[in-house]
Structure 1
Amino acid sequence: MSPAQTIEQYLPSHPFFAGLDDEAIALVTGCAVNAHFRPGQHLFREGEPADTFFVVRSGRVAIQMRLPTQAAVLDTAREGDVVGWSWLVPPYRWTFDAVATEETSVVSIDGACLRGKCETDPALGYALLQRVVQVMSTRLHSARVRLLDLYGSRP
């Protein structure tokens, strides 16, 4: 992806948004801004209000779960990945932490803004829900594999 590429140019070609018509893309981009995170900076923390989701343009983001003694990395999001589904699922609270592990640029999409647009356009809401469920399924599978890797061989 070219760094000079605008959100309006980037999102229509992104797989997550594939198949959405121009009007739907315009609604999404109306809720989107570019953002940048430094290594170690949180995109979000477990338990906090979930009011955004992210499309990683460059960099890496660790999706992690807090444990009593440490954080367990459940998955790593890379360029092109979508991070965050809690913006669409009540009570709209993050269920994991997300931390940039290197310089990371994202498209940050305001979830409250987009939820409002989905309320007035149920077809958009359904289309986004289908895509978010796919992200959830992929992320949960990765987390399961990672947890089995971490704890599966212990007695």
Structure 2
Amino acid sequence: MQFVRFIVIGSLLSGCSFWNHHRDVRPDVSGTHTIILNTDDRTSGYREAKPQADHFCRKQHKATYILSEEYRYTGSMSESDYVALKTAARVARDVGGAVWGLSKDERSEDAGLVAATGGAIADDAIGPGYTYTVKFQCQ
């Protein structure tokens, strides 16, 4: 058991050491930098981009100033179909996970695991449907 713990902790620590905290920043000589992300919805882009922009600017001992941000639907199906499918996949994943985690018998546990796995696979297969673009400066 100690060996497994050692492997897991070592893997986590080595993965963190290679993490680039502003991997999506596209620097520009004009001083207006861009981050472009593919997201699953119209709200999560800012939560991922802002810390990257802050880290990029902190490296220069400056503050981040957001100039503009835009969400654009870029999926291959209609936006309403995309939202409906994403919602259904996430509900299956979340409810299945709850059933799996809270079940007291093996049949319910198996059904929950299948639903959770199927929902996660469907969510991943549908993929991100939005492109989030933010422009910022470090001052």
Larger relative contact order, structure 1 or 2 (CA cutoff 8 Å, min sep 6): 2
TM-score by length of 1: 0.28
Larger Rg: 2
Q: Going by fraction, where is helix more abundant, 1 or 2? A: 2
Q: Going by fraction, where is strand more abundant, 1 or 2? A: 1
TM-score by length of 2: 0.30
